Amino acid sequence: MTNDKKSFSGAKHYVLDDELAKIVNISMELEMPLLLKGEPGTGKTMLAHAIAETLGMPLIVLNVKSSMKLIDALYQYDTLTRLNDSRFGDSKRDVSNIEEYIKMGKIGQAFTADKRTILLIDEIDKADTDFQDDMLDVLDQMEFDIIEIDKTITAKHRPVIIITSNAKKDLSDPFLGRCNFHHIAFPDPKMMRKIIKVHYSDIDSDLMENAVNVFYRLRELESIEKRPATRELVNWIRALKSDPDFKPRDLVKGDIPYLGILFKKSPDYARAINTVSRRRII
């Protein structure tokens, strides 16, 4: 890494492993989008926020929806307002100037921003393959055309692009060909302790040990639809900490309160309650 370039090494509320830091830095240097996959709750989205925070770059988030078309992410031609203006003429906009009715979408914003931005394209797997491929074309060439005004928008600064996907299935080959790829594994207990330390620096070591142990055991319960992830654990610990009657010893004894924070689906919750009440977990 050259010295004049900023490199990324973790943020205040994000625990980064070396491997991922390296990949982020390489992708930034090569100016290639980084595709992140992994279970929900492994911090894919958080990573982009963390990079933005550390490097002091503005973050632009494009939340992909299944019905989304590429053009929505680039720009919008507000025909209805123009139609309205042309009929009633009660605005200061110049109706004959179409450019006044063009609004930039998220990718457009990232291209036209005055400084280098981080563009987070979240949950790309929701959209169909055509969207994905077309989008990568745009991101590859760093420009797109606005047909209505016959103008080409070229990126002033190449944004740092982070793409996340929850899907187990692979994205299309041309898409993958243009990205770097990393799969974030679910953190192991050691990493998890670090993550908790980051969130609660003053945490009692008994509480942490016991909570993490119980958490990993609960994750292994069978036939759970949505297994608790990092976010749930962090919230759970917050609840445990704020309960004055709670003692870390209780967890060892098999008294596990606030299961509703860990299990969000009612069949899962019932199953967890059932297992815990039979003391099978310890």
Which helix (H) or strand (E) is 202 found in, with range?
none
DSSP per residue, 68-111: --HHHHHEEE-HHHHHHHHHH--SSS-TT-GGGGEEE-HHHHHH
Among 9, 65, 83, 280, binds another protein (CB under 8 A): 83
DSSP 181: E
Contact between 87 and another protein (CB under 8 A)? yes
Contact between 170 and another protein (CB under 8 A)? yes
CB distance 174 to 136 below 8 Å: yes
Distance CA 70, CA 138 (A): 9
Contact between 35 and another protein (CB under 8 A)? yes
Scanning 75-83, 151-159, 193-201, 228-236 for contacts with another protein by CB under 8 A, the matching segment is: 75-83
Q: Which two tokens mark 91?
A: 């605005």
Query: CB-based contacts of 133: which residues, under 8 Å, 6+ apart?
Result: 172, 174, 175
Counting residues that bind another protein (by CB under 8 A) gives 39
Distance CA 194, CA 251 (A): 20
Scanning 94-102, 171-179, 195-203, 211-219 for contacts with another protein by CB under 8 A, the matching segment is: 171-179
Contact between 142 and another protein (CB under 8 A)? no
Query: CB-based contacts of 236: which residues, under 8 Å, 6+ apart?
Result: 211, 215, 228, 258, 261, 262
Scanning 24-32, 42-50, 92-100, 116-124 for contacts with another protein by CB under 8 A, the matching segment is: 24-32
Classify 37 as helix, strand or coil: strand
Contact between 241 and another protein (CB under 8 A)? no
Q: Which two tokens mark 268?
A: 């899962």
Scanning 20-28, 103-111, 193-201, 238-246 for contacts with another protein by CB under 8 A, the matching segment is: 20-28
For the CB of residue 51, give the shortest distance to another protein in the complex, in Å.
15
Residue ranges in 207-236 that form contacts with another protein under rule CB under 8 A? 222-223, 225
Distance CA 222, CA 273 (A): 13
CB distance 262 to 236 below 8 Å: yes
Contact between 19 and another protein (CB under 8 A)? yes
Contact between 185 and another protein (CB under 8 A)? yes
Contact between 169 and another protein (CB under 8 A)? yes
Distance CA 17, CA 237 (A): 22
Residue among 39 and 122 whose Cβ is closer to another protein: 39
Scanning 33-41, 138-146, 151-159, 202-210 for contacts with another protein by CB under 8 A, the matching segment is: 33-41
Residue among 89 and 177 whose Cβ is closer to another protein: 177
Which residues would be at the binding site for another protein (CB under 8 A)?
1-2, 18-19, 22-23, 25-27, 29-30, 32, 34-35, 37, 39, 79-80, 83, 87, 125, 166-170, 173, 176-177, 179-183, 185, 222-223, 225, 267
